[in-house]
């Protein structure tokens, strides 16, 4: 076993997230940051801006990341792990490049990165790796030392992620009226992405038919449904569905959408649905608008009872899982053999994204993978 407090060779952990607006004046510039060069129709942007304005122009995501940071720091301290934890975002302050500059200036040279997305996909993995490469290039231009960055493996099947989601699903089931509870179906939801992007998610050997993105979500959904059956003694039929689609209508994205699914379920006589947003790690805007507002309104219109499971957020078990993943990776970087904890059928994910993992539409340099331009030593 690895030393419980040895995170060497790493000297810092970086929480890397999406970012969100913190007031009405932030909404438009935030959306411009998100959609720069991504060809999202103008009407969709105006509509999404309204989602934020409905909540006073504030996304809950930044506060949720502050809570996660606090939980991770608390967990590290309680376990004698002396590793500073920083936070940077792709689309809003604190911006990744500012945080990395601060880290490099503070003397950090080996940085481990945790992204707030548990799965393989361009948006949830490679795009963050591109953001890291861009920020490192900026440091280089500024004449600052360029730290080496590594990214933690995908944690979708780590108990620190799965166990809180099981409990959240049980709690959401318990919220349903008793007379419809036993017949409830589970709708596991995640962000829709273009099918072309899903099909090329994960390492090249896993491309095709939804790629790693869909396979990994199905693995989590199956585990949660199975754990719920073991606990309640009731088998709840389940399906993986999608939400938050944003592309132009002629481009195929993963389907069915949660709202269409609710309508179909109601039409088929399903008495209630529990929505389980396994695709997200906190109850941010995609959850509180797309599920709690839009899908809930659809369900109310249909007269279909629904409830929604919470995401892991700052659950102490998630923080503990992050510590375990940090210690695991540190030990492996030191050349030590360690247990690599993973539930479900897929096994622990790769440490280093191989060449061709989750490609974008236009090739860009990406850090923290086999094709990292800043990786001097062959690994
Ligand atoms: C896979 C995935 C995740 C999960 C993994 C992860 O967490 O990273 C995710 C998370 C999030 N997405 C978020 C917000 C947005 N995503 C957008 C647009 C898009 N997302 C995409 C994918 C994903 N997105 C894609 C393929 C697009 C199309 C444009 C493009 O190809 O890039 C847009 C533009 C407007 C629109 O919705 O069309 C917004 C505002 C927020 C913040 C919420 C908050 O503020 O609380 C979060 C956490
Ligand atoms: Fe998104």
Per residue in 215-260, pLDDT (tens digit) is 999 999 999 999 999 999 999 999 999 999 987 889 999 999 999 9
Annotated binding site for Fe-coproporphyrin III, which residues?
Answer: 59, 128
Ligand whose nearest atom lies closest to the CA of 193: 1
Helix (H), strand (E) at residue 212: helix 211-232
Residue 186's beta-bridge partner residues? Answer: 238, 274
Contacts of residue 281, Cβ cutoff 8 Å, sequence gap at least 6: 68, 116, 117, 118, 161, 311, 312, 313, 318
Report the mean per-residue pLDDT for the chain: 95
| Residue pair 263/241 in contact by the 8 Å Cβ criterion | no
pLDDT by residue (tens digit) across 99-158? 999 999 999 999 999 999 999 999 999 999 999 999 999 999 999 999 999 999 999 999
Which overall architecture, per CATH, does domain 12-155+314-333 show?
3-Layer(aba) Sandwich (3.40)
Cα distance between residue 206 and residue 320, in whole Å:
30
Residue range 159-308, CATH number:
3.40.50.1400
Considering the entire predicted model, what is its pTM? Answer: 0.96
Strands 238-243 and 110-115: unpaired
Q: Best of 15, 16, 246 to mutate for ligand 1, by most ligand atoms within 8 A of CB?
A: 246
Give me the pLDDT at residue 4, please: 57
Alpha helices in the chain (DSSP H): 27-35, 42-54, 61-78, 96-105, 127-141, 159-175, 178-181, 195-199, 211-232, 258-267, 285-288, 296-302, 316-333
Q: Best of 67, 117, 123 to mutate for ligand 1, by most ligand atoms within 8 A of CB?
A: 123
Contacts of residue 297, Cβ cutoff 8 Å, sequence gap at least 6: none
Index of the ligand 1 atom closest to the CA of residue 121: 1
| Residue pair 119/112 in contact by the 8 Å Cβ criterion | no
Cα distance between residue 364 and residue 8, in whole Å:
30
Pocket residues: Cβ below 6 A from ligand 1: 18, 20, 31, 34-35, 38, 40, 44, 48, 59, 61, 116-117, 121, 123-124, 191, 193, 244, 246, 279, 284-286
Dist. CA 284 → ligand 1 center (Å): 11
Indicate which residue's Cα is closest to atom 22 of ligand 1.
123
Cα distance between residue 265 and residue 304, in whole Å:
9
3-state secondary structure of 95: strand
pLDDT by residue (tens digit) across 220-232? 999 999 999 999 9
Dist. CA 325 → ligand 1 center (Å): 25
Q: Where are the domains of the chain?
A: 12-155+314-333, 159-308
Query: Looking up tokens 């008495």, which residue turns up?
Result: 271
Cα distance between residue 202 and residue 305, in whole Å:
36
């Amino acid at each position: 076993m690895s030393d419980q407090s040895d995170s060497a060779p790493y000297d810092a952990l970086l929480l890397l997230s999406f970012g969100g607006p913190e007031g009405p004046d932030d909404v438009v510039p935030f959306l411009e940051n998100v959609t720069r060069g991504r060809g999202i129709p103008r009407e969709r942007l105006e509509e999404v801006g309204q989602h934020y304005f409905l909540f006073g122009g504030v996304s809950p995501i930044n506060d949720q990341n502050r809570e996660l940071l606090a939980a991770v720091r608390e967990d590290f301290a309680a376990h004698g792990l002396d590793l500073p934890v920083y936070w940077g975002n792709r689309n809003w302050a604190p911006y990744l490049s500012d945080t990395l500059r601060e880290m490099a200036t503070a003397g950090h040279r080996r940085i481990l990165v945790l992204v707030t997305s548990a799965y393989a996909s361009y948006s949830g993995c490679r795009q963050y790796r591109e953001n890291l490469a861009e920020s490192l290039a900026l440091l280089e231009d500024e004449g600052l030392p360029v730290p080496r960055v590594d990214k933690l493996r995908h944690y979708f099947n780590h108990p620190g992620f799965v166990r809180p989601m099981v409990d959240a699903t049980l709690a959401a089931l318990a919220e349903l009226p008793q007379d419809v509870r036993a017949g409830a179906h589970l709708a596991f939801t995640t962000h829709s992405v273009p099918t072309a992007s899903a099909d090329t998610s994960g390492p090249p050997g896993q491309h095709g038919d939804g790629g790693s993105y869909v396979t990994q979500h199905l693995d989590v959904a199956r585990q949660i449904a199975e754990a719920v059956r073991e606990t309640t003694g009731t088998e709840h039929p389940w399906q993986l569905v999608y939400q938050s689609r944003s592309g132009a209508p002629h481009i195929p994205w993963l389907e069915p959408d949660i709202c269409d699914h609710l309508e179909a379920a109601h039409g088929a006589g399903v008495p209630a649905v529990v929505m389980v947003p396994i695709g997200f790690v906190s109850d941010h805007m995609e959850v509180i608008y797309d599920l709690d507002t839009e899908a809930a309104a659809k369900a109310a219109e249909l007269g279909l009872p629904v409830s929604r499971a919470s995401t892991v957020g700052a659950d102490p078990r998630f923080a503990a899982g992050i510590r375990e993943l940090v210690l695991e990776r540190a030990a492996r970087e030191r050349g030590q053999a360690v247990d690599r904890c993973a539930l479900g059928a897929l096994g622990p994910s790769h440490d280093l994204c191989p060449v061709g993992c989750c490609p974008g539409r236009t090739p860009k340099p990406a850090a923290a993978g086999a094709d990292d331009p800043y990786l001097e030593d062959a690994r």
